[in-house]
Amino acid sequence: MAETYAQERTDSVAGSNSTGGQSDSFIVETADLTKMYGAFTAVDRLNLRVREGEIFGVLGPNGAGKTTSILMLLGLTEPTSGAVRVCGHNSTREPLKVKRLVGYLPENVGFYGDLTARQNLRYTAHLNGLTDRESDARIDEVLEVVGLSDVADKKAGQFSRGMRQRLGIADVLVKSPRLVVLDEPTLGIDPEGVNQLLELIVKMSREQNMTVMLSSHQLQQVQQICDRICIFFKGRIVAEGRIEELGTRALAGAQLTTEVQVARMADEFVGSLGRLEGVAGVERSGDLLLVHSDQDIREGISGLTAKLGAPLLHLRMRGYGLEEIYLKYFKEG
């Protein structure tokens, strides 16, 4: 299972580099998808491709067009121009076929407070045309997956936000979708809840072999679980690819910055840092020293601290985290 998955992932990278022709292996494909609200362009000529089986992160600040794009994917809103195909169906023309295969967890998902968790899921099952017998078995199964079996007969109105979000995932799974679209699933949940939820998403994607599209503006979380990401800014995708690739691509040719903190910040140390090979400049920022260079100088720095007897507290090269990539694109945008 794990191996096939890895294999697929390698394929997917190859696929995303080649120029088209493999439309059947993309579960989501958009072509110049555009949405205008009056004169305002919410989504501008979006060309997005998501491979079957991957966890795809959609990043971007609020109002960048993430939700609008998702609504167009599901056929919940009509694009102004362009086309979108999900699982081989045109979302605008055949929304029902798409919605049968795609599970969508909206931002701020809600449930009927007077109904129990199970009754809420049963309604979803009925809307999907499942019979009572099919739905009861399926509901037990998905409640087990999200860990809500013991509160299945409690009213959804009493659920905490984290439980509601997990119930939302159960709700999405009821119809056994091929693609799951989660809009800001971790919003407003405490850190432990976030970790549980992310684990759940990964488990769901691996065990049930589902493709997951995940929109978020919380970078750290996405970084943990996504195979590939795209970054939205002002209705456009400014970057797309695997996180490591994006890092190298984004920071190619750029100056590297290394954060250094030592126990005793002596001027002598700062001076010797400046004389290290490849260092362009040293700047102080609070407790940290920011060392600008055109190559990786971590080795040199740790050697230097050992030589001077200054205990090294912190050493980190900026540039491979998602945060930096994100910030860089935002500055450019």
Binding residues (CB under 8 A) for another protein: these are 67, 71, 74, 76-77, 96-97, 99-100, 102-114, 123-124, 126-129, 168, 171, 175, 183
> 202 φ, ψ to 5°?
-65, -45
Q: Compute the least distance from the CB of residue 210 to another protein, in Å.
A: 16
Q: For another protein, which is the closer residue by CB, 72 or 151?
A: 72
Q: Which is nearer to another protein, 100 or 298 (CB)?
A: 100
Minimum CB–partner distance for residue 186 and another protein (Å) = 15
Q: What is the DSSP letter of 115?
A: S
What are the structure tokens assigned to 317, written together?
Answer: 């090269």
User: Minimal distance in Å, beta carbon 128 to another protein?
Assistant: 6
Question: 241, 146, 163: which is closest to 199 by C-alpha?
Answer: 146
Pick 112 or 220: Cβ nearer another protein: 112
Instruction: Supply 233's token pair.
Output: 């800014």
Q: How far is the CB of 96 from another protein (least distance, A)?
A: 5
Phi, psi of 17, deg, nearest 5: -85, -35
Interatomic CA distance for residues 250 and 39, integer angstroms: 32
Phi-psi category of residue 31: left, alpha or beta, with phi > 0 → left and psi -120 to 50 → alpha: beta
With respect to another protein, which residue has the nearer C-beta, 67 or 293? Answer: 67
Of 127 and 254, which has the nearer Cβ to another protein? 127
- State the nearest-atom distance from the C-beta of 124 to another protein, in Å: 6
Q: Residue 28's beta-bridge partner residues? A: 50, 86
Minimum CB separation from another protein for residue 93, in Å? 14
Interatomic CA distance for residues 331 and 52, integer angstroms:
32
Classify residue 183 as left (phi > 0), alpha (psi -120 to 50) or beta. beta
E-strand ranges in 38-119 read: 40-46, 49-51, 55-59, 81-86, 89-90, 102-105
- CB-wise, 111 or 326, nearer to another protein? 111
